[in-house]
Structure 1
């Protein structure tokens, strides 16, 4: 299927220029118009008539692109989005990428066809350049994640500080060998959580051991696998900090399968404070993110942009909070190794 971006690439223009040619709205030079029309003819591009209709008046629809709707964290964010959208007379279309970069790009291309008034991007796998380009073409807000060095409106927590405080809490409990189960290394949000973990160790004069940083992919299964790799080490840590609650629950399952007790043999700290964190045994210590508030503020910011209102702030950092429960405690006397 030929996309508007294919036409833009062949004509060496922006998708916004192709859109102006198709809608016959806005100025386009005759030379550029002819280049675009020729590219359309060569490629056999057929404009989306539904999109054309939407261009002429607001669709009162926004698209939320999320990485995984099965993750309870994003389910709560979506509830916040939908609540505010409904109050203001808008509908929310959900685009679930399944953590796929290609799907994320396909959904962004769909938005370029202007089937929605704007987009909330709650996943950050594409490049800064791609985000900036999309932000120039239509209203865009990044929620939960963020990009370095670009001016796209964003709402999130401070992941460096949150991860540093979680790790520092474990250090204050007396742990000196602390493992980290991280998310994907190539995600900005996750790199910040790793940075916070490193800072806490360094500030406390503790060495950062790269072998104790194990990569996961936010899922329970990846947490189990990462914890299994940690348990295969000659010297065990006395605590593990997982960069998501689902990975933390996976770590709990792996520890239980090995006959180890939490927190007696090893403390476990999570991140997000999803509902599951209070359902496991022991209940999970974690970093609470204001999930619904993230969604509510992101949609308010987006709709204000759509409606031509000026944003008071474009980069918003919401507060987080440590939730201390039964999965963390001071380390036991050294019988299980690792202090």
Structure 2
């Protein structure tokens, strides 16, 4: 292995001079710097990044912990965070928690060991203990898409209750009163916030809330499929379903096709996220479009600001979403209402 001593010998300078060139800690003449850089290139010498970070007290690396990097929604957020971080001079270590707070905790231990400058966290569930672990080590942290009620930190998300209400109101405006809701995991804040919005829309329109029309899902296609199978096999099935994310909505469409239930003629469906596949689905999915790229960009900006001013008050950044109407919803006809 090539060492700093080998570089110093090849360049004809002291070890201290090589260190100053590598770390930029003292002025070195252009002639001497050129000799050192040439020796480093000839010997293929790469400085130890961890050792440099200890000297500089920064690693120029941030950690990103996601619950499911196979979900296109989180993949787009990750892309945005990586792009924005690179523009700010940071590299990103990506960790996938699989929605498991214990796995999330082990990855946070790894990021602490790597001495990252900060962490962007999409919480797996109640991640307050994991956040406190980062806080105890003074590692700046920003939560994205979700929050943890007992945690006081910067966060970037949308108001999920408002947009859950918007999704449901769209179906009500189409004439539906038998509207079901497929939720996400129990302890994930967007899941129960969107259900709260669903219930509020029904109450405002004086529509009965049927508890058997609210079925637990898991934010994955198969979870949506199983929940839809249950709903569509009722003696009195819903005429519309609000799935709390797009992937579960795909599962609903599959369950409907198995039962020869036509979408949107027999069943209207609204999703949530507007991942890029939703445009190409058959039929294209009506959904709530989340600002995924802006979410990643704002998260990086918030983290960098937190690194520079660690004592500033925590901020909750709420971004705007919108309803995108496509072919999976349809006005309910009088004949359909009778059926």
Common fold: TM-score over 0.5: yes
- Which residue of 2 is the match for residue 228 of structure 1? 229
TM-score by length of 1: 0.80
* 1:207-262 Cα deviation digits (max 9, x unpaired): 11111111111111111111101111110111000000000011011101111111
- Which residue of 2 is the match for residue 126 of structure 1? 126
- Which residue of 1 is the match for residue 146 of structure 2? 145
Q: Give aligned pairs, total.
A: 290
- Which residue of 1 is the match for residue 101 of structure 2? 101
* 1:175-213 Cα deviation digits (max 9, x unpaired): 001001110122122110111111111111111111111
Preserved contact between residue 183 and residue 243 of structure 1 (Cα < 8 Å): yes
- Which residue of 2 is the match for residue 285 of structure 1? 286
- Pair 88,324 (structure 1): closer, same or farther in 2 beyond 3 Å: same
Preserved contact between residue 49 and residue 59 of structure 2 (Cα < 8 Å): no
- Which residue of 2 is the match for residue 245 of structure 1? 246
- Pair 213,334 (structure 1): closer, same or farther in 2 beyond 3 Å: farther
Alpha-carbon distance, 1:100 to partner: 1.9
CA distance in 1 between partners of 2:310 and 2:255 (Å)? 50
- Single out whichever of 324-333 and 300-309 deviates more from structure 2: 300-309
- Which residue of 2 is the match for residue 182 of structure 1? 183
- Which residue of 2 is the match for residue 30 of structure 1? none
- Which residue of 1 is the match for residue 43 of structure 2? none
Alpha-carbon distance, 1:303 to partner: 1.6
* 1:1-36 Cα deviation digits (max 9, x unpaired): xxxxxxxxxxxxxxxxxxxxxxxxxxxxxxxxxxxx
- Pair 82,180 (structure 1): closer, same or farther in 2 beyond 3 Å: same
TM-score by length of 2: 0.80
Alpha-carbon distance, 1:127 to partner: 3.9
- Pair 89,322 (structure 1): closer, same or farther in 2 beyond 3 Å: same
CA distance in 2 between partners of 1:204 and 1:51 (Å)? 60
- Which residue of 1 is the match for residue 263 of structure 2? 262
- Which residue of 1 is the match for residue 323 of structure 2? 322
- Which residue of 1 is the match for residue 77 of structure 2? 77
The SS at the match of 1:154 is strand
Alpha-carbon distance, 1:126 to partner: 3.2
CA distance in 1 between partners of 2:51 and 2:183 (Å)? 44
- Pair 311,169 (structure 1): closer, same or farther in 2 beyond 3 Å: farther
- Pair 295,221 (structure 1): closer, same or farther in 2 beyond 3 Å: same
- Single out whichever of 143-152 and 190-199 deviates more from structure 2: 143-152
The SS at the match of 1:271 is strand
- Structure 2 portions without partners, runs of 5+: 1-47
Alpha-carbon distance, 1:326 to partner: 0.5
Alpha-carbon distance, 1:147 to partner: 2.1
In the alignment, is residue 62 of structure 1 matched against residue 62 of structure 2? yes
* 1:128-162 Cα deviation digits (max 9, x unpaired): 34424423431000011112243210000000000
Larger C-alpha radius of gyration, 1 or 2? 2
CA distance in 1 between partners of 2:272 and 2:287 (Å)? 5
The SS at the match of 1:145 is coil
